[in-house]
Amino acid sequence: MFTRIQMKEAAKLNFKRKWNTSIIATLLVMIPSLLITAEYTFSNSDDFYVPFSLKSNLFSLQAFQLFNKTSFALAFSIISTAITLVVMPVLQVGYNRFFLKLRGQLEPKVTEPYTPFKESNWGNIVFVTLSTWFSIFMWSLLFVIPGIIKSFQYSLVPVILASDSSISSSNAKKLSKRLMKGHKSELFVLYLSFIGWFFLSAFTIGILQVVYVKPYFQATIIEFYSCRRAELIVKGMLLPHELPSFGSDWYSPDNLNGPLGNNPQYGSGYYGSTPNYGSDYNPPNQDDTQF
């Protein structure tokens, strides 16, 4: 399978093919976070609009400012919580789907990150995401290390949801653990390889983050996921339809030249020979203890 360098090179080729589209999609995903930042900045500002009639009465002025700040703080808290717990998880899944389609040589729209909201399963995306966060939080209570391990085990849940937004919370976690078994340290090193880019983007007021770093990073995560998926399929530990793909991916049902295009029984392909599974195939139980 691909090395880390090969994954990053493939990711750059993928997102640069539709660079302008990737930039706009990235900006659309970041808008809710920017709104939270703007609201927080304004809520901590002393510059509130005061009607002229109140300026003649110091007590009324102070009372108005206190009411204004309290009301705005409450509204900010509600809005920011809703964005963090509901909007951002769905957008992240849509963002992953954007790059899955891009990798499959499809033509995703700039609004692709928002398309999950049009589906009936967007509530399931929120539930699975919150359930995953809660699981990581509970493991973190057993000191820090178990929580870190679980966060890496479940790190591919958003991509799995992008592949199948109707998947249950338990299945999403199981599939993520199966994909990540023995590769958590590999993903950790992959994260570390982007630290320099993140520091550099901070000096550009986030501009570099939008036009290069974030799409580059996300495309690389998709490449990592796709390689892990293909590897398990080759080893007979995963059925392709368990994690659907998009476009020209070899194991995608949409690829007429692939093993699923004309026949549900799988042959051989780019990643190697694939065994012919029966319909009653069950993947072996996975040991989750290996880091």
pLDDT tens for 66-85 read: 555 667 667 777 888 888 89
Q: What is the DSSP string of the chain?
A: ---HHHHHHHHHHHHHHTHHHHHHHHHHHHHHHHHHHHHHHHHT-S-----GGGGG-HHHHHHHHHHHHHHHHHHHHHHHHHIIIIIHHHHHHHHHHHHHHHHTT----TTGGGGGGGSTTHHHHHHHHHHHHHHHHHHHTS-SHHHHHHHHHTTTHHHHHHH-TT--HHHHHHHHHHHHTTTHHHHHHHHHTTHHHHHHHHTTTTHHIIIIIHHHHHHHHHHHHHHHHHHHHHTTSS-GGGS---TT-TT-TT-TTSTTTS-SS--EETTEE-----TT--PPPPP----
pLDDT tens for 23-47 read: 999 999 998 877 776 665 555 555 5
- Asked if the structure places residue 150 within a domain, the reply is yes
Lowest mean pLDDT among 41-45, 231-235, 236-240: 41-45
Residue 250 pLDDT more than 70? no
* 123 alpha carbon, distance to own chain's centre: 16
Lowest mean pLDDT among 127-136, 167-176, 231-240: 231-240
* pLDDT value at residue 79: 82
* pLDDT value at residue 51: 46
Burial class of residue 101 (count of CB atoms within 10 Å of its CB; 0-12, 13-18, 19+):
buried
What the block records as the tokens of 244 is 């659907």
* pLDDT value at residue 278: 41
- Asked if the structure places residue 51 within a domain, the reply is no
Give the span between the Cα atoms of 286 and 235, in whole angstroms.
13
Residue 165 pLDDT more than 70? yes
- Asked if the structure places residue 228 within a domain, the reply is yes
206 pLDDT band, cuts 50/70/90, is confident
Question: How many structural domains are present in the chain?
Answer: 1
**Whose CA is closest to 241, among 218, 259, 222?**
259
Residue 274 pLDDT more than 60? no
Give percent of the chain with pLDDT exceeding 90. 47
* pLDDT value at residue 263: 44
The predicted model gives 91-104 an average pLDDT of 94
- Asked if the structure places residue 283 within a domain, the reply is no
* pLDDT value at residue 105: 85
* pLDDT value at residue 280: 42
Say which residues have a Cβ less than 8 Å from residue 201's Cβ, sequence separation at least 6: 207, 208, 209, 212, 213
Of 44 and 213, more confident:
213
* pLDDT value at residue 41: 59
- Asked if the structure places residue 289 within a domain, the reply is no
Domain region containing 222:
4-46+58-273
- Asked if the structure places residue 89 within a domain, the reply is yes
Residue 134 pLDDT more than 90? yes
Of 177 and 235, more confident:
177
- Asked if the structure places residue 279 within a domain, the reply is no
Give the span between the Cα atoms of 68 and 73, in whole angstroms.
8
